[in-house]
Structure 1
Amino acid sequence: MTDYTLILGNKTYSSWSLRGWLLAKQAGIRFDEVVIPLRQPDTRAQILHHSPAGKVPTLIAGGEAVWDSLAIAEYLAETYPSQGLWPSDPAARRLARCVTAEMHAGFQALRGALPMDLSKHHPGHQIAPEVQADVDRIQAIWRDCRGRFGRAGDFLFGAFSVADAFYAPVVTRFRTYDVTLDSISEAYCTAVTDHPWMKEWTAAAAEESWIIEFD
């Protein structure tokens, strides 16, 4: 019997699910997984069975749904404060919340043009100017976090945190679409890609049989 159940979309495609899953791994909780294929006729009905918002990820905790990845982050950080989901330094924690919220709410051009797809690689993919603007802003965030607070480790604030969970799907997008990055951002992407949790997620995605074709 596990403590929690995490409702996810396909691991190959669901960027929001990846965030929730990484948060659960960092919190150190035991959890079951329910993976619901996306873009199917009954997808929304299946998710609504678990979440009133009809979105993934949703964490079932004590029989109650915690939906939205940011709400899951805050719930787990409050429930397991010793796991360091947010940086301990107040200035670092303030910046981590800002850049996490920016990722949560922004970068619509990048999301639309470069959907997460762990099954594909598009070398030489052409990036539209508005997408490049998002790429440039993300790299600026990464440089700032790494330069100010990342010296103690390989991640945005040294140790892996909520902020890294939120930017991990972007890392996969940059790899899938062969996005050219500066040296600091490239090193950060390598650190995220090589993290054992990311390798575990990617391996599970490779075993999925569902296929979604993007325009």
Structure 2
Amino acid sequence: MKLIIGNRNYSSWSLRGWLAARQAGLPFEELTVHIDGDDWQATKRLDGEFQPSAGKVPVLWDDDVVVWDSLAILEYLSDKVGRERFWPKDPAARGMARAMVAEMHSGYLPLRRLCPMNIRRRITGLTLTDEARENIVRILGLWAEARARFGAGGPFLFGSFSAADIFYAPVISRFITYGIGVPGFAQAYMQAVWDHAWMQEWIAAAEAEEWVIEQFEVA
């Protein structure tokens, strides 16, 4: 398999796709592209192997199969290796995890727009909009419910590391970058994800990147 990802410092979607690939446990070749660079901007407009994804990252190739969109990649991989690797076994927990992932995948636009992912930066004094604050309250409420109902088996949302943690990892990065205050249980959960070996690998690579996208550096 081959996985194309964008800038590690900024691309939240790429982080999700990459974590899903690591969670699957299958070998894959990794290709990182500068999503704001001239080469990628030109390549994605060409006919050929990049065309199905409309030039968006991440993109997964598996022989003749091309899968784009981070949630589609996660689901494709879960079909290959078994859904229990990504989703809780308990039906109630699995139902909540799926709903949380879907909500993250399609929602929280005010928070995303106000706080673009930027792993390298630490920003203080951010003024939250009402809409972004509502997003944060909603996320924390979901985290609290998942941890209280299904998190007894470990430090993650549903105990062990799963699809829900993969999809909320970029939110954790945003909360850290922008100094978003969270209650103690959320601090402990965020630290568990941040300290995960795969996250530490991603963070180290993001910090080593030399690419800078100015529009994401203004705050």
Same fold flag (TM > 0.5): yes
Partner of 2:50: 50
Deviations 1:98-123 (A, max 9, x none): 00000000000001000000111002
Quote the residue 2:175 is aligned against. Answer: 174
Q: 2:30 aligns with which of 27, 33, 36?
A: 33
Report the Cα offset of residue 63 of structure 1: 3.2
Find the aligned partners of 1:101 and 1:19 in 2 and give their Cα distance.
13
1:20 paired to 2:17? yes
Aligned to 2:112: 111
Task: Tell me the matched-pair count.
Answer: 212
Q: What code does the residue aligned with 1:98 have?
A: A
Counterpart for residue 7 of structure 1? 4
Matches within 5 A, 1:100-139: 100-139=101-140
Shift of 1:130: 1.2
Stretches of structure 2 that go unaligned for 5 or more consecutive residues are: none
Gaps of 5+ in 1: none
The answer (yes or no) to whether the contact 1:8–1:56 under 8 Å persists in 2 is: yes
TM-score, normalised via structure 2 length: 0.92
When residues 126 and 94 of structure 1 are mapped into structure 2, their CA distance, relative to the original with a 3 A threshold, is same
**Matches of 2:29 and 2:98, distance apart in 1:** 28
Indicate the residue corresponding to 1:203 in structure 2: 204
2:116 maps to amino acid: P
Cα deviation 1:63-92 (Å, max 9, x = unaligned): 321111111111111110176111111111
Q: Percent identity at matched positions?
A: 48
SS of equivalent to 1:52: helix
Contact 1:20–1:72 (8 Å) recurs in 2: yes
| Distance (Å, rounded) in 1 between the aligned partners of 2:51 and 2:26 | 20
Which range moved further: 36-45 or 18-27? 36-45
1-structure distance, mates of 2:108, 2:176: 17
> What TM-score do you get using the length of structure 1 for normalisation?
0.94
Q: Report the secondary structure of 1:30's partner residue.
A: coil
Q: What SS does the corresponding residue of 2:67 show, helix, strand or coil? A: strand
Letter of the 2:86 counterpart:
L
Deviation at 1:175, TM superposition (A): 0.3
Deviates more, 1:156-165 or 1:83-92: 83-92
The 2-side partners of 1:115 and 1:159 are apart by 27
1:185 is displaced (CA, Å) by 1.2
Corresponding residue of 1:160: 161
Provide the C-alpha distance between the structure 2 equivalents of 1:43 and 1:112, rounded to a whole number of angstroms: 23
**Residues 1:191 and 2:188 aligned together:** no
